[in-house]
């Protein structure tokens, strides 16, 4: 009888051990000493917690004044199949071995190219807006499919592509098309690089792409180089003897739109060591002023930068003859990035500018203080002819 009881006890213990072993494989790994957070110097819109088995990506600010943050779990296919993570805690589960991706903004493309993963891009809405020669070649060869317009992505084509993830963005809320894509089982990550308040913060979102592609070290190295170039140019600009006064923007119907003083655009002008005439303003979005208010303050401005979409002095004058009364117009001191385009008309500034603020800053320094960068040829900005 005693032997029988001992056998029963041993059997219970063995079954208990087996059950515990099986159960442990279905539980997510708990935070441990191996946990580390991605180091971000400027960006505030996302964060990454890295564990030994998975990463947690949190998008804190997908669009201005967003009341919701989004949480994504990134792990290998093997880990995702072995572990049962609490579904209610995450907005999507992402494999860390992405072979097919869809992005929805041209600002996402430079990050893919810088990280050397552009071959994973299989679809894009509005391919004519893409300027990069490398990505345009893939479009022309049929390796990247057209997905229509961002506001109404062709979901039939996208579902046929069956990407591992879609990188989207929301202007003022959730995009209904993205909700449809998610219901089909394709994860969507909201990218909020454009919401950041400084040029270097926007550029640091290359670390977001480094995270989802397991290329954190490479992303960090690339950003450090861009940051160093930017800070070196900023330091050089401080040597300028004069600070030219600067006007920006142009009229749209009856309203003149121009950057507010706390915007990333104004930060670039400050770092270029110029006197932006609206540097003391603040707020969200652009300033919206009357022609009279702008003319009174900026009629004698030394430089006029980024006059909306106008690509020539003739276009400006045809749109509104009052533009000719500005000193900058009379002196042909108007510079714009609209004439630097890809072969299908996409404006390169809108694509590459977010990733390379160092190039923008050097352009502005060259335009404003030409002697400081005598051998430099502007990358984006050209004078209107």
Domain map (residue ranges) of the chain: 36-226, 239-383
pLDDT by residue for the chain (385 residues), tens only, comes to 444 443 433 333 333 433 333 333 233 443 444 567 899 999 999 999 999 889 999 999 999 888 889 999 999 988 888 767 777 889 999 999 999 999 999 999 999 999 999 999 999 999 999 999 999 999 999 999 999 987 789 999 999 999 999 999 887 777 788 988 999 999 999 999 999 999 999 999 999 999 999 999 999 999 999 999 999 999 999 999 999 999 999 999 999 999 999 999 999 999 999 999 999 998 878 999 999 999 999 999 999 999 999 999 999 999 999 999 999 999 999 999 999 999 999 999 999 999 999 999 999 999 999 999 999 999 999 999 9
CATH class of 36-226: alpha beta
Task: Select from 3.20.20.70, 3.40.190.10, 3.40.50.970, 3.40.50.1980 the CATH code of 239-383.
Answer: 3.40.50.1980
Residue 144 zone, left/alpha/beta (φ > 0; ψ -120 to 50; rest): beta
Enumerate the β-bridge partners of residue 59. Answer: 46, 70
> Of 133, 112, 111, which Cα lies nearest the Cα of 121?
112
Q: Assess whether the region 36-226 and the region 239-383 belong to the same CATH fold.
A: yes
- Torsion, Cα of 145, 193, 220, 54 (10° steps): -80
Say how far residue 100 (Cα) sits from the centre of its chain. Answer: 19
Residues 6+ apart with CB under 8 A from 139: 124, 127, 130
First-to-final CA distance of the chain: 105
């Amino acid at each position: 009888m005693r032997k029988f009881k001992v056998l029963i006890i041993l059997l219970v213990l063995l079954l208990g051990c087996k059950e515990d072993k099986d159960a442990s494989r279905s539980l997510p790994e708990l935070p441990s000493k191996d946990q580390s957070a991605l180091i971000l110097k400027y960006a505030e819109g996302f964060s990454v917690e890295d564990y030994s088995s998975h990463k947690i990506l949190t998008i804190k600010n997908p669009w201005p004044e967003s009341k919701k943050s989004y949480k994504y779990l990134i792990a290998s296919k093997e880990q995702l199949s072995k572990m049962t993570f609490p579904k209610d805690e995450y907005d999507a589960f992402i494999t860390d071995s992405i072979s097919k991706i869809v992005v929805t903004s041209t600002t996402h493309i430079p990050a893919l190219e810088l990280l050397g993963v552009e071959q994973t891009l299989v679809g894009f809405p509005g391919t004519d807006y893409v300027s990069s020669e490398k990505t345009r070649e893939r479009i022309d060869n049929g390796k990247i499919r057209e997905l229509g317009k961002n506001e109404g992505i062709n979901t039939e084509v996208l579902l046929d592509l069956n990407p591992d993830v879609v990188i989207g963005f929301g202007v003022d809320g959730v995009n209904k098309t993205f909700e449809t894509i998610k219901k089909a089982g394709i994860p969507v990550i909201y990218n909020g690089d454009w919401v950041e308040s400084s040029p270097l913060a926007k550029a640091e979102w290359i670390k977001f792409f480094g995270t989802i592609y397991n290329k954190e070290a490479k992303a960090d190295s690339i950003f450090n180089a861009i940051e160093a170039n930017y800070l070196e140019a900023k330091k050089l600009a401080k040597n300028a003897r004069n600070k030219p006064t600067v006007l920006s923007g142009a009229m749209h119907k009856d309203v003149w739109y121009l950057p507010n003083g706390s915007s990333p655009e104004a930060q670039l002008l400050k770092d270029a060591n110029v006197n932006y005439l609206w540097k003391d303003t603040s707020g969200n979005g652009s300033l919206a002023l009357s022609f009279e208010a702008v003319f009174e303050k900026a009629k004698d401005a030394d430089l006029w930068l980024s006059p909306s979409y106008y690509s020539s002095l003739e276009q400006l004058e045809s749109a509104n003859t009052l533009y000719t009364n500005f000193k900058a117009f009379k002196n042909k001191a108007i510079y714009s990035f609209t004439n630097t385009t890809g072969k299908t008309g996409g404006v390169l500034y809108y694509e590459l500018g977010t990733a390379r603020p160092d190039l923008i800053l050097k352009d502005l320094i060259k335009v404003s203080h030409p002697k400081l960068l005598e051998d430099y040829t502007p990358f984006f900005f050209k004078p209107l002819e």
